[in-house]
Structure 1
């Protein structure tokens, strides 16, 4: 009689061989390579550069390379100088708050002045006192400027001038500057002035009269220390305080629905301005 061969228990069953069990499947990663995923995270964490800074960065890198070739030294200092210059021209992504009447800060920095003044002549606004909010940018701040509201560029005018310290009140009238007037979708006029400072010797403005613009989008750049003034429509109250830090394209400077009453306090109401366009989606 032939001998009967005992059946082999299936892998993983009692008496089976653990070493023959199928390996555990790795956790699902969505099919994405881990290295590519890590590179994507790093790329998203590093802000892009404003195009206006690329020639400056290239010049600093070239100078650092020349010093290294001529002296055989200075590699670390050259890399540091190039990296610092690149950081100055960063243009981080910003998300405007969903407030249709909000006037957003045009720049990163510190609120240095809040005052009632007659707008400068180049803005061609009514010659009556309005609230001016001045944001001072140090050399460590992001130096791109952003549109404060949805609307259309009504005018742009450049004025040459001095290079006084940008935190001085008279810098608004004496320094080199570039002024624009934004006509909002509700018919209000908002003035924004880029002002050069002690170290700032170049103002760049990338919008022209007639351009349709969106709140928070980048429109200009000031190199190496500066100031940006925002002139609110008559009667609109500020929502920031002296010394407050602002984030360009996100911090709300004022709301067009909040007005100052005769006693200088604020309240909610309408300005009586005719609506010239319906609110529409923007990027």
Structure 2
């Protein structure tokens, strides 16, 4: 059976009821209604991902194409950063995965009908055990606005572990420490929870970076 994201189960249950009612009323003429149910299962699928053995690796939070990699200014933590911009695939999956193992320091929810760029984004600030700060942001201006990320300050998230649902076709940005080393280039396709985007780099005592 196809694994289904928890956020999609109520919608699929409602579709299943509609399909059953359609069969009661229309009989065999209701067979096309199964396409809706199958389509819903496809959109809300949540397949297991193989997390790479890279403790300092930053994995992709979504199935996406890399749009941009470069230096920027992190507007959330006001610091120089390595920014990686991802365009979520239109065909999904649409699940959100934690890019690193760390603790939630803060999150920003988008303000309703906010026209400012920062106010229209969801943001999640994670700090790793090595004290690296990673900020994940999602553009929430595009419709439909089906997004769930039930985290609170202090929660610990595992690297590559599923932590919510975005849906559909979002732009996701990651702000990493400026010392991080990018492992992808624009145009690269990456899988959520398994595709490595960058490596967090630390100076070794008495040695090179």
TM bucket (normalised to shorter chain) is: 0.7 to 0.9
Check if 1:228 corresponds to 2:172. yes
Check if 1:116 corresponds to 2:49. no
Check if 1:237 corresponds to 2:185. no
Check if 1:105 corresponds to 2:44. no
| Unaligned runs of at least 5 residues, structure 1 | 1-42, 164-170, 258-268, 273-283
> 1:118 is paired with a residue of what secondary structure?
strand
Measure how far apart 1:110 and its partner are.
Answer: 1.0
RMSD (Å) for aligned C-alpha atoms: 2.6
> 2:109 is paired with a residue of what secondary structure?
strand
CA–CA distance in 2 between the matches of 1:77 and 1:139? 23
CA contact (8 A) 1:200 1:222 kept: no
Q: Which one has the bigger strand percentage?
A: 2
| Unaligned runs of at least 5 residues, structure 2 | none
Measure how far apart 1:73 and its partner are.
Answer: 6.2
The aligned residue for residue 89 of structure 1 is: 44
CA contact (8 A) 2:63 2:89 kept: no
Check if 1:204 corresponds to 2:137. no
Measure how far apart 1:215 and its partner are.
Answer: 0.5
Equivalent residues in 2 for 1:150-189, closer than 5 Å: 150-160=101-111, 173=117, 176-189=120-133
> 1:53 is paired with a residue of what secondary structure?
helix
Decide whether aligned partners of structure 1 residues 219 and 190 sit closer, same or farther in structure 2, where only a CA change above 3 A counts.
Answer: same
Structure of higher RCO (CA pairs closer than 8 Å, 6+ residues apart)? 2
Measure how far apart 1:141 and its partner are.
Answer: 1.5
Measure how far apart 1:100 and its partner are.
Answer: 1.6
Structure 1-normalised TM-score? 0.65
Decide whether aligned partners of structure 1 residues 113 and 76 sit closer, same or farther in structure 2, where only a CA change above 3 A counts.
Answer: farther
CA–CA distance in 2 between the matches of 1:256 and 1:63? 49
Check if 1:149 corresponds to 2:100. yes
Structure 2-normalised TM-score? 0.86
CA–CA distance in 2 between the matches of 1:95 and 1:148? 13
Post-superposition CA distance 1:199-226 (Å, at most 9, x none): 3312111221101121011111112322
Check if 1:130 corresponds to 2:86. no
Measure how far apart 1:227 and its partner are.
Answer: 2.4
- Count of residues in correspondence between the two structures: 205
> Of 191, 200, 206, which residue of structure 2 is paired with 1:247?
191
Decide whether aligned partners of structure 1 residues 103 and 271 sit closer, same or farther in structure 2, where only a CA change above 3 A counts.
Answer: farther
CA contact (8 A) 2:58 2:200 kept: yes
Higher-Rg structure is: 1
> 2:193 is paired with a residue of what secondary structure?
coil
